């Protein structure tokens, strides 16, 4: 189809309404939403493939998920479902069940797509305080219902218009469950229900919070922590062939909607001019009325060659977050392994923090995804959180030793909790925050 926008992306001097920097899912979504509304969009990406932290890359003939493996937004009315349908994307989302199997030193919990089945599994655990569990999940659901409804309507988020303020006032009764827990950590809500000593729930909470809001129940703010538990129950699935296939489909949809996408086109400077912005990239110069720079604050400062109070403050917050250590495995398939794609959360010692190799998120490709590693082989992406600030304070040798220690700890957790998988490991690749910095342009390799 001929692009409506008429941007000649092969030209070295391009004019666009909006230049989007970075074809991670943030940039892809922005570019597609804008192109659908008729804007003349140019999306510039450094790498030769889209997806960023949620891409599928090829190494040694095998296709590995770079970081993200379990995506959401696939339920009716949610963004990816709408885009897949509207653009007839060639993307298959498998509604696998269970979504994740949590294995710790004291329990195994299959986490399915239904809140009800999770509650029943927890109630069936020895010594489970059934009535308290049911009351807790009723409250959790009420908080999640209120907050998810809010995030479905971006117009209701700040900056607020007079109309959105009126809508909020009319909805105040629906916000009551949120108001009750605001400013408190999840752990205090567990304590109010006398559940903070019920280990299966505490472990489940710490595991789900670590992969969603990236912290534990001691620290996670209750409104977000309780709502993020619904991640499992609202539109999460396994993208067949890897999340990269969704990223590629988004690129095609942007192009079919009239936008242009330039791969291997790293942006190295953005400058203000009278009509908007000048974007200087490897493949030329783009004059755009607006720029959407889907990069970290520190990277934005580098592109603008200026520092701003807001971005410097944000950069400081990002630097106190997380990087990721990775193992990418090729597994010899075996009939004893599940045929469908499977995601595991493995915890070495449940009494220690769920980070630095003590907690490993593992995603095994499906048997029939033979495009990943060929027949008889499967791939697995394994990730764990590492302290970005701790790493940054170290010398180069210190950083290498720290990452190697974390990766060794990941192997230990894999051996202890998923030996049936790890014993069949035929090949291993590794990655560190430095790898993420190099490939996704995220300063310090900060990913959360
Ligand atoms: C290990 C790991 C596991 C994760 N697991 C999950 C999961 O299971 N489920 C989930 O939902 N989320 C998961 N996430 C989070 C998710 O991957 C990210 O939140 C999301 O992909 C971020 O998208 P983004 O577009 O904001 O940034 P990125 O993915 O970082 O994309 C930025 C893009 O911009 C490009 N770029 C940067 N600088 C420039 C430049 N100057 N010029 C041109 N291009 C540039 C980069 O190459 C990159 O493609 C995980 C993340 C990690 C790291």
Verify whether ligand 1 is closer than 6 Å to residue 52 (CB atom): yes
Q: pLDDT value at position 1?
A: 40
For ligand 1, the distance from its centroid to the CA atom of residue 23, given in whole angstroms, is 9
What does the mean pLDDT of the chain come to? 94
For ligand 1, the distance from its centroid to the CA atom of residue 439, given in whole angstroms, is 10
For ligand 1, the distance from its centroid to the CA atom of residue 235, given in whole angstroms, is 20
Q: pLDDT value at position 5?
A: 54
Q: Is 214 exposed, middle or buried (0-12, 13-18, 19+ CB in 10 A)?
A: middle
- Band of pLDDT at residue 319, cut at 50, 70 and 90: confident
Query: 1-57+242-294: which CATH number, 3.50.50.60, 3.30.70.380, 3.40.50.1000, 3.10.129.10?
Result: 3.50.50.60
* 36 has a pLDDT exceeding 60: yes
Examine residue 159 and say whether the peptide bond preceding it is cis (omega within 30 degrees of 0).
yes
**How much of the chain, in percent, has pLDDT values that exceed 90?**
84
Interval 37-52: pLDDT, tens: 999 999 999 999 999 9
For ligand 1, the distance from its centroid to the CA atom of residue 295, given in whole angstroms, is 9
Verify whether ligand 1 is closer than 6 Å to residue 382 (CB atom): no
Contact predicate 273/60, CB 8 Å: no
In DSSP notation, 254-289 reads: HHHTT-EEESS--EEEEEEETTEEEEEETTEEEEEE
Q: pLDDT value at position 6?
A: 64
Q: Is 151 exposed, middle or buried (0-12, 13-18, 19+ CB in 10 A)?
A: exposed
Angstrom distance (rounded) from CA 409 to CA 291: 42
For ligand 1, the distance from its centroid to the CA atom of residue 191, given in whole angstroms, is 35
- Band of pLDDT at residue 4, cut at 50, 70 and 90: low
Angstrom distance (rounded) from CA 163 to CA 324: 42
Angstrom distance (rounded) from CA 273 to CA 168: 39
Helix (H, G, I), strand (E, B) or coil at 408: helix
* 80 has a pLDDT exceeding 70: yes
Helix (H, G, I), strand (E, B) or coil at 185: strand
Nearest atom in ligand 1 to the alpha carbon of residue 265 is 43
Contact predicate 53/440, CB 8 Å: yes
Alpha helices in 104-161 (DSSP H): 115-123, 130-151
Mutation pick for ligand 1 pocket among 50, 51, 54 (CB with most ligand atoms within 8 Å): 54
- Determine the average pLDDT of the residues in 102-107: 97
* 337 has a pLDDT exceeding 60: yes
Nearest atom in ligand 1 to the alpha carbon of residue 343 is 8
Give, in order, the Cα–Cα distances in Å from 175 to each of 49, 169, 183, 209. Answer: 42, 10, 14, 22
Examine residue 413 and say whether the peptide bond preceding it is cis (omega within 30 degrees of 0).
no
Mutation pick for ligand 1 pocket among 32, 49, 65, 68 (CB with most ligand atoms within 8 Å): 68
Verify whether ligand 1 is closer than 6 Å to residue 301 (CB atom): no
Alpha helices in 238-387 (DSSP H): 243-256, 297-304, 309-319
Q: Which helix (DSSP H) or strand (DSSP E) does residue 189 occupy?
A: helix 186-192
Q: pLDDT value at position 157?
A: 82
Mutation pick for ligand 1 pocket among 53, 250, 324, 344 (CB with most ligand atoms within 8 Å): 53
- Band of pLDDT at residue 335, cut at 50, 70 and 90: very high
Closest CA to 399 of 448, 433, 437: 433
Tokens of 234: 């609202």
Higher pLDDT, 311 or 434: 434
Helix (H, G, I), strand (E, B) or coil at 35: helix
């Amino acid at each position: 189809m001929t692009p409506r926008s008429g941007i000649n992306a092969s030209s070295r001097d391009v004019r666009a309404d909006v230049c989007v920097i970075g074809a991670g899912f943030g940039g892809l979504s922005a570019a597609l939403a804008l192109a659908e509304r008729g804007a003349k969009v140019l999306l510039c990406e450094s790498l030769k493939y889209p997806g960023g932290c949620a891409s599928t890359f090829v190494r040694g003939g095998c296709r590995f998920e770079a970081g993200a493996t379990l995506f959401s937004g696939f339920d009716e009315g949610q963004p990816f479902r709408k885009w897949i349908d509207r653009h007839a994307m060639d993307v298959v989302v498998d509604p696998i069940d269970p979504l994740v199997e949590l294995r710790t030193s004291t329990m195994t919990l299959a986490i399915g797509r239904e809140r009800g089945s999770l509650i029943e599994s927890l109630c069936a655990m020895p010594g489970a305080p059934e009535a308290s569990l049911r009351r807790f999940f009723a409250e959790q659901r009420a908080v999640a219902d209120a907050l998810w409804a809010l995030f479905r309507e971006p117009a209701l988020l700040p900056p607020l218009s007079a109309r959105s303020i009126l809508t909020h006032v009319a909805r105040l009764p629906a916000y009551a469950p949120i108001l009750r827990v605001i400013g408190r950590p999840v752990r205090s809500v567990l304590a109010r229900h006398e559940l903070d000593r019920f280990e299966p729930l505490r472990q489940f909470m710490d595991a789900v919070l670590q992969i969603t809001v990236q912290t534990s129940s001691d620290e996670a703010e209750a409104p977000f922590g309780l709502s993020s538990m619904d991640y499992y129950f609202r539109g999460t699935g396994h993208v067949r062939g890897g999340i990269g296939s969704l990223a590629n489909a988004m690129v095609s949809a942007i192009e079919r909607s009239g936008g242009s996408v330039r791969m291997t086109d790293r942006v190295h400077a953005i400058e203000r001019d009278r009509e908007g912005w000048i974007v200087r990239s490897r493949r030329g110069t783009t004059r755009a009325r607006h720029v959407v720079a889907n990069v970290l604050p520190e990277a934005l400062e580098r592109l603008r060659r200026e520092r701003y109070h807001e971005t410097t403050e944000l950069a400081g917050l990002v630097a106190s977050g997380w990087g990721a250590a990775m193992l990418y495995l090729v597994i010899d398939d075996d009939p004893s392994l599940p045929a469908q794609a499977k995601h595991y959360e493995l915890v070495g010692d449940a009494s220690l923090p769920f980070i630095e190799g003590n907690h490993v998120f593992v995603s095994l490709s499906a048997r029939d995804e033979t495009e990943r590693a060929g027949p008889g082989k499967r791939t697995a992406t394994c990730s764990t959180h590492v302290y970005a600030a701790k790493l940054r304070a170290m010398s180069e040798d210190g950083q290498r030793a720290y990452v190697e220690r974390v990766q060794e700890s990941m192997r230990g957790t894999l051996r202890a909790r998923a030996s049936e998988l790890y014993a069949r490991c035929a090949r291993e690749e590794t990655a560190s925050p430095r790898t993420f910095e190099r490939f996704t342009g995220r300063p310090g390799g900060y990913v959360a």
